[in-house]
Amino acid sequence: MNQKRIISLLAAGTEIICELGLEAQLVGRSHECDFPESILHVPVCSSAMLDPNANSLEIDKQVKGSLTDALSFYQLDRELIKQLKPDVIITQTQCEVCAVSFSDVEKALENLLDHPVQIISLEPNNLDAVFTDIKTVSQVLGVPDRGADLTERMQERMELIRHKLKFITQKPTVACIEWIEPLMMAGNWTPEMVEIAGGQAILAQSGKHSPAIDWMDLVEADPEIIIVMPCGFNIERTLKEMDTLLQQPYFKDLQAVKNNRLFIADGNQYFNRSGPRIADSVEILAEIINPKQFIFGYEGTGWIKFSV
C-alpha cells in the first residue's frame, strides 16, 4: 500500500484517518484536531483568527464581521505545509465557520508545492453523507475495505438502538440548541440522530444547515426535552453561558425545564464532528431521551442534566 503523507485540517477527518488505521501517515493537523490523544504530537498547520475566549454573541459578531469583509476565520501555516510535503489534504466545504474550508486550502497551496496534492473535501449534510465521506477517504487512501467495515460497525450500533425502540410509540419532542446567542437549532445530521434515539426533532430539518430562530419560536414549540450542544463548546464552556438562556422570557415555564429534562451535551467532541463518533452521539441521545432503555456510560463526560 502506498504510504501517502496526510494533513487533516478537519477534526472529523483526523478521527476517520485514525479509525482506518492510518494514524502513522498523519503528518499535519489543524488546531482543532485533538482526538485521539495520540495525535497531539503531530504538527499543527492552522490557527483561528477568532477570540477563543469570547462568548457566543461576541463570536457571532466576529464571524459576521469577517463574512462582511470576505475574510477567512483561519490562517494556514504555508511554510510548515511546504516542509511536511503532503500527498493528501483533508478539508471541508460544509461550513466556513466551523473549520478550515476548501477555498482556504486552495489559496494556501497556490504556487507552494512542487508535487501534486490531492484535496479531499468533505461535505456531510446528513448521516448518509457522513458514511459516504468515510468511504471516500478510505478509497482515496487505499483502504476501501476498512472504510466499509467502519461504516458497517457504526450503522450496526445505530440499528441496535432502533431495534430496541421499535415497539415504543411515545416519541418526545426534542430541541437541540447548536448556538446560544443568537439562538440556533442543530440541523444537518442531528435531526436524524434524534429520530434514531427515539425522539421527534423540532425546529430544524435533516440535511439542511442549522437555522437561527427567534426565542419565542422555542417557547411556542415548548419541547419536552431540550439539549444544549453548542458548536465547538464542551460541557464546561457551555455551563458558563447557561445564564443567557436562564434570563430569556418564559424559560422556566418550558415543560422541559419544569420536568427536569434540560441537558447539556459535549457538542465539540461529539455532535459537531461528522466522523466515527457520530455513533457515540446517537448513543448519548438514546441515554437522554430513553434513560430506562439505555445506559452506555456517557453521563458525566458526554452529557449532564442541568437543573434550574
pTM of the model: 0.92
pLDDT band at 203 (very low <50, low <70, confident <90, very high): very high
For residue 231 the three cell numbers come to 458548536
pLDDT given for residue 102 in this prediction:
64
Q: Which domains does the chain have, with CATH numbers?
A: 6-123 (3.40.50.1980), 168-305 (3.40.50.1980)
Least confident among 68-77, 122-131, 200-209: 68-77
**What is the tens place of the pLDDT at every residue in 211-222?**
899 999 999 999
Residue 209 has pLDDT above 90, yes or no: no
Q: What percent of the chain has pLDDT over 70?
A: 93
Task: Identify which of 45-49, 59-63, 161-165 has the greatest average pLDDT.
Answer: 161-165
Within 40-169, strands assigned E span 46-48, 74-76, 88-92, 118-122
Residue 68 has pLDDT above 70, yes or no: no
Q: What percent of the chain has pLDDT over 90?
A: 73
Average pLDDT over residues 186-196: 96
**Residue 150 and residue 134 in contact, taking contact as beta carbons nearer than 8 Å:** yes
Average pLDDT over residues 233-257: 95
pLDDT band at 67 (very low <50, low <70, confident <90, very high): low
Over its C-alpha atoms, the chain yields an Rg (Å, rounded) of 20
What letters, b where the CB count within 10 A reaches 16 and e where it falls short, cover 110-138? Answer: eeeeeeebeebbbebbbbebbbbbbbbbb
Query: Strand, helix or coil at 131?
Result: helix
**What is the tens place of the pLDDT at every residue in 70-120?**
446 778 898 999 999 999 999 887 655 555 666 777 777 777 777 888 999
Helix (H) / strand (E) element for 105: namely helix 102-109
**What is the tens place of the pLDDT at every residue in 5-39?**
999 999 999 999 999 999 999 999 999 999 999 99
pLDDT given for residue 94 in this prediction:
60
Residue 53 has pLDDT above 60, yes or no: yes
